[in-house]
Amino acid sequence: MNSSLKKSLYLGLAAVSFIAAAGAATTNASAKTYAKISSYPALSAKAADRNVALNGTNAIYTKAGTLKGAKVVASKTTVKNLMKSTSSKKNFRVYKAAVTNRGSVYYKVVSFDKAYRGWIYGGKTANTFAGGIKSYDTFTAGTLTTEQKDNTFTIANPGTANDNKTVTYKAPAWTQYKVGRQITDSTSYASAKFNITQVGTRTKEGDTWVYVTAADSANSAANGWILYSGLKSSGVTAAEGVTVNYLNKATGQQVGTKIIAVPADKTLDKDDVNGYVPAGYSYDSIGKTAVTAGSTSVAYVNANAPLTTASVTAANVAGGSSVAGPTFTTDQNTKVNDAVKALNILSGQTVTVAQQQSILSTAGVSSFNSADGKTHYELVTSSLSDVKTPAETGTAAALTINAKYTVTTN
């Protein structure tokens, strides 16, 4: 075979191979298919019932994720971060639905702050929130305390700030989509007195909101929701209310006092006074039940069991350090418990930072060396925080002191 013939054969085979490869590529490309929208079912739930939480399993797209040309609005990583958000601004509302020819349901969602908007997979059944979302209660109603029911309140710092505690809102802020303020300026309501008629908690923040109603109907335009921390008790004067003195039944010592509104039936009962029992005590009985404006009564209380022990969780302030925090000896633990007993703190009372410092200092564990003298531990006082103990009546409540130490080797 001459060289010209060989070259012709090689070129022919190469061409055939190229055409075959190109044909295969074309076949593979055309084999990829995309879903299509077959219907847009109407949403059956009311708008307020279409609040949802992200599950963190599916991304958000510009259109149903299996449609041609769908682009990512929020990746799975971003969605997971949104799911963990502690801001109600990152609540989501469903406002449109679509079903593909493959039977998948996609919902169009928007975050309450409008930062994210797009389509997310929602399962296989229209009007059932599944897949990447689930139904979500943005707010949970609670029960009014005695203090909230029996007192009137004023706005603590009237003004125009949109900070959840200066003006009132049509719904607790960011718990419903596009529902905003009731009033934008509370200055003219500075002296207005309000009654609390509803209370609840925002799910993401865990903060307490209350619905206030003006005592004077002339101020009813301000009726709405506000953070409980944005109010202050307008107080009932001694001449208007009943002065209740709380006495330790065992000793006769007065341990607290509270002026409360005169009950509608002018009869004091446990529900009227129990909410104001001083910390560390429990209600026993009432000395005088028939009351009028300006009168005085007595509520007897019993002291709860005093604290007798403390468990100290001592850690190295340098969290990731290989050198552990101190481990107290039996003798050191005994001294901690003795220091607790000496303070006579009652179960249900708050153990302040100062009291915890006193306990640790008295026990000799604020600044000390290890038994072998090789390591020095120094209490970081800023690591301490007040501890509210459970209101145990029969047995002493458990006290745990969370303390951190700087650890140095000698």
Residues 141-162 have pLDDT tens digits of: 999 887 788 778 899 999 999 9
Query: Please, which residues bridge with residue 275 across strands?
Result: none
Residue 410 has pLDDT above 90, yes or no: no
Evaluate whether residue 72 is within a structural domain: yes
- Which residues form the domain of 208? 140-233
pLDDT recorded at residue 322? 58
Positive or negative, the Cα torsion across 27, 31, 32, 34? Answer: positive
φ, ψ of residue 340 in degrees (nearest 5): -65, -45
Evaluate whether residue 118 is within a structural domain: yes
Residue type, 62: T
Question: Is there a single domain that holds both residue 394 and residue 347?
Answer: yes
Residue 23 has pLDDT above 50, yes or no: no
Q: Residue 101's pLDDT band (boundaries 50, 70, 90)?
A: very high
Kindly report, residue by residue over 104-136, the tens digit of the pLDDT: 999 999 999 999 999 999 999 999 999 999 999
220 vs 362: CA distance, rounded Å: 57
Do residues 66 and 34 make contact, with C-beta atoms less than 8 angstroms apart?
Answer: yes
Question: Is there a single domain that holds both residue 321 and residue 335?
Answer: yes
Residue 215 makes CB contacts below 8 A (sequence gap 6+) with 152, 192, 193, 194, 195
Return the CATH number at 267.
3.10.20
Kindly report, residue by residue over 195-205, the tens digit of the pLDDT: 899 999 999 99
Residue 26 has pLDDT above 60, yes or no: no
Last residue of a domain, one of 118, 136, 154: 136
pLDDT recorded at residue 31? 57
Evaluate whether residue 124 is within a structural domain: yes
Q: What is the mean pLDDT of residues 371-392?
A: 90
Calculate what percentage of the chain has a pLDDT beyond 70: 90
Q: How many domains does the chain have?
A: 4
Mean pLDDT of the chain: 89
pLDDT recorded at residue 9? 37
Residue 397 has pLDDT above 50, yes or no: yes
Evaluate whether residue 168 is within a structural domain: yes
pLDDT recorded at residue 320? 60
Return the CATH number at 156.
2.30.30.170
Residue 121's nearest CA partner among 188, 187, 72 is 72
Q: What is the mean pLDDT of residues 374-387?
A: 93
pLDDT recorded at residue 323? 65
Do residues 82 and 132 make contact, with C-beta atoms less than 8 angstroms apart?
Answer: no
| Range name among 262-271, 313-322, 353-362 with the lowest pLDDT average | 313-322
Evaluate whether residue 146 is within a structural domain: yes
Question: Is there a single domain that holds both residue 254 and residue 292?
Answer: yes
Does this model's pTM top 0.75? My answer is: no
Q: Which residue has the higher pLDDT, 72 or 233?
A: 72
**Number of Cα atoms under 13 Å in the Cβ half of residue 18:** 6
The angle subtended at Cα 226 by Cα 225 and Cα 227, nearest 5°, is 135
Residue 247 has pLDDT above 70, yes or no: yes
